[in-house]
């Protein structure tokens, strides 16, 4: 007969199943340890560098809004003076 046909035995299928489980376990373990290492990037107060950058951007934006409101208040004061 030409070519050999190889049938997987129950033991081979079982061994393949175990290899897959081990592989999944290794991947999940690696992801777990990576997530733990990412926790080490947190500062003492619990903020990451990205959090700090976002807070700085927010503070700058709030200061810009405050300045705009100050300008609007001055404009209202000018309008009020005209009506006095």
Tens digit of each residue's pLDDT (9 = 90 or more) over 4-37: 555 666 667 667 777 888 888 788 777 777 766 6
The reply to whether 83 and 53 lie within a common domain is yes
Q: Which domain range does residue 65 map to?
A: 43-84
Read out DSSP for 55-78? HHHHHHHHHHHHHHHHHHHHHHHH
49 and 76 fall within a common domain: yes
Residues 60 and 80 in one domain: yes
Residue 48: which residues within 8 A CB-CB, separation 6 or more?
Answer: 41, 42
pLDDT at 2 over 60: no
Q: What is the pLDDT of residue 7?
A: 61
Greater confidence, 43 or 33?
A: 33
Yes or no: say if 71 and 64 are a contact pair by the CB < 8 Å rule.
Answer: no
- Measured distance CA(51)–CA(72) in Å, rounded: 31
């Amino acid at each position: 007969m030409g070519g050999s046909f190889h049938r997987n035995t129950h033991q081979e299928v079982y061994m393949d199943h175990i290899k897959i489980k081990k592989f999944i376990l290794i991947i999940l373990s690696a992801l777990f340890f990576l997530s733990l290492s990412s926790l080490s990037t947190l500062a003492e107060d619990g903020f990451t560098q990205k959090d700090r950058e976002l807070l700085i951007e927010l503070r700058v934006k709030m200061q810009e809004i405050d300045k705009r409101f100050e300008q609007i208040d001055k404009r209202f004061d000018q309008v009020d003076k005209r009506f006095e």
